[in-house]
Amino acid sequence: SASEKKDFIRQIVREDLASGKHAAIRTRFPPEPNGYLHIGHAKAICLDFGIAAEFGGDCNLRLDDTNPAKEDPEYVVAIQDDVRWLGFNWHALRHASDYFDVLYLAAEKLIRQGDAFVCDLTPEQVREYRGTLTEPGRNSPYRDRSVEENLDLFRRMRAGEFADASRTLRAKIDMASGNMNLRDPALYRIKHVEHQNTGNAWPIYPMYDFAHSLSDAVEGITHSLCTLEFEDHRPLYDWCVDKVDLANSPALVAPLTAKGLPFEAAKPRQIEFSRLNFNWLVMSKRKLLQLVESGRVDGWNDPRMPTLQGIRRRGYTPSALRLMVDRVGISKQNSLLDISILEGALRDDLDAHAPRRMAVIDPLKVVLTNLDAGFEESLAFANHPKDATQGERQIPFSRELWIEREDFAEVPPPGFKRLTVGGDVRLRGAGIVRCDEAVKDATGNIVALHCTLDPDSRPGMEGANRKVKGTIHWVSATQGVAAEIRLYDRLFTVADPDSESDGKTYVDYLNPDSRKTVTGYVEPAAADAAPEQSFQFERTGYFVADRYDHKPGAPVFNRSVTLRDTWAG
């Protein structure tokens, strides 16, 4: 069923289907495999795959692999993992390199039509000739080469006769155009570099605009959604599609048949939307690569990274990301969004779905001196306060417990509602205790609290209703399981790490406290979690069992997000 969402792109799709312009729609998500996908890509993925699904169409995953020097199969694997994790399946997995033969024939067609020429200007000369925004460019002296000479030179480029960057194939459009992209843009460049799919078959590689527009046309893409920086490229996109006219050029698409690939002609329409940007993050692949290569983070999947692999490990859920994308909406207005939108979506998703558990992060021993040595019992707790379908689990309660060190104060500050010597506190779901004594070691550190459990305040008893100021969480010291707990915080100390001033850049603003690892204790039902299971640790935050390091019985938890937005910012 078509979505109720009313953004301008869905509106266009709706109209194109209603008018019969397209009987069915097809989109594509076209990442370049030169890095890991990040939160920004989640928006493009949700849009490309989401719109296709909502309108009964389909979406291809296309690896835009036209720049082999920067690309790597490792990225290809991660990209597929990320798209599936977000909950989407592609109709077909394609590569721009699948179409290198088609693109080559299309280039020859342009040459024969007089729409492209081989240019011998150096890169610097090309820049010089291009002109500026206020001044028209000048025609290349090679612009009027004959079709025969162009064909001969282009074939020799393809045969590998010329050095890198010594020549280009350029579209012949308009050096006086107000749109710089139309000033005879390059369609092919010479680059003697091995490609992950085509090996050393090609010493020339197609440029982005040429490859992208024609790949869309080959795959039958009806709506080609991309970010706003490509708005000025749209006239070139249309020029390539129209001039090459694949639908009426059977010879050009013949190589597809040989590869067993379909040709699904469409006149694709490019539509631009604004990029997703958040403060407190950097999202350029170049900067993320530098963080990884310089060892400032533990890798692409470090839980502090804004990569999908990183935030997944941090405990972000696919549904939280989809919720965030829905809340942000689709527009043509670029903006820097506040990170609270991202974190808020995660909190809301986990609040609704994550089971509750008790965990103590900074443990202080409590001994209930009026219970027998070895006293043990098991208490039933609801897994979720607002969702009875999540059922219950048993929590062991015993004479010795762990509580948070900060839930006790020897000298309570004004308004302190938790435990003090001589004061009462409720142990969540277990009864009311009074602290009789803080036991200290030789240096004066508090090592344990001796407390008395009010026997009339046990769960279900009348005395359990007695009013006490505070309720704290706890974990059995005999049955609780020691856990490695990683407390993550923001990677940068400033809200705008991308802005450069006083010669400082994002690497100068790394937060030295972005990860603190502590040993805490968790109830057995948390220790038994599967990797990637998320919980709310009551009063403490949302945590996830680490995707790689957590083992049932040897738990490792990552803090995904605090319970409330506590950052002063």
HSE-up of 204 (CA within 13 Å, CB side)? Answer: 27
**Residue selected from 89, 125, 200, 284 as contacting ligand ATP according to rule CB under 6 A:** 284
Exactly one of 5, 14, 21, 32 is catalytic; which is it? Answer: 32
Pick 33 or 318: Cβ nearer Mg ion: 33
Q: 3-state DSSP call for residue 395?
A: strand
Q: Is 275 a catalytic residue?
A: yes
Phi, psi (rounded to 5 degrees) for 94: -130, 165
39 annotated ligand-binding residue: yes
CB of 41 to ligand ATP, least distance (A): 5
CB of 284 to Mg ion, least distance (A): 7
Exactly one of 62, 130, 269, 285 is catalytic; which is it? Answer: 285
40 annotated ligand-binding residue: yes
HSE-up of 36 (CA within 13 Å, CB side)? Answer: 24
Which residues 24-43 are close enough to bind Mg ion by CB under 5 A?
32
CB of 442 to ligand ATP, least distance (A): 57
157 contact, one of ligand ATP, Mg ion, none, CB 5-8 Å limit per kind: none
CB 402 within 8 A of CB 360: yes
**Residue selected from 13, 31, 60, 172 as contacting ligand ATP according to rule CB under 6 A:** 31
- Considering only CA atoms, which of 274, 280, 290, 341 is closest in space to residue 499? 280
- Considering only CA atoms, which of 543, 77, 110 is closest in space to residue 317? 543
d(CA 11, CA 13): 5
Pick 140 or 224: Cβ nearer ligand ATP: 224
CB of 95 to ligand ATP, least distance (A): 13
44 annotated ligand-binding residue: yes
Q: Is 32 a catalytic residue?
A: yes
Looking only at the bridges linking them, the beta strands covering 424-427 and 58-63 are unpaired
Pick 211 or 472: Cβ nearer Mg ion: 211
**Residue selected from 226, 253, 297, 328 as contacting ligand ATP according to rule CB under 6 A:** 226
Helices (H) and strands (E) in the chain, counts: 14, 25
To 10 degrees, what angle do helices 250-258 and 100-112 make?
160
Which residues 40-79 are close enough to bind ligand ATP by CB under 6 A?
40-41, 43-44
Q: Is 285 a catalytic residue?
A: yes
473 annotated ligand-binding residue: no
d(CA 320, CA 339): 13
d(CA 180, CA 64): 23
**Radius of gyration from C-alpha coordinates of the chain:** 31
Proportion of the chain in helix, strand, coil states, percent, rounded to 5 = 35, 25, 45
314 annotated ligand-binding residue: no
d(CA 550, CA 313): 11
40 contact, one of ligand ATP, Mg ion, none, CB 5-8 Å limit per kind: ligand ATP
142 annotated ligand-binding residue: no
208 annotated ligand-binding residue: yes
**Residue selected from 285, 347, 486, 559 as contacting ligand ATP according to rule CB under 6 A:** 285
Binding-site residues for L-glutamine, in ranges, read 64, 208
Catalytically active residues, by annotation: 32, 275, 285
Kindly list the residues in this chain that would bind ligand ATP in the complex (CB under 6 A).
30-32, 40-41, 43-44, 226-227, 275-276, 283-285
Kindly list the residues in this chain that would bind Mg ion in the complex (CB under 5 A).
32
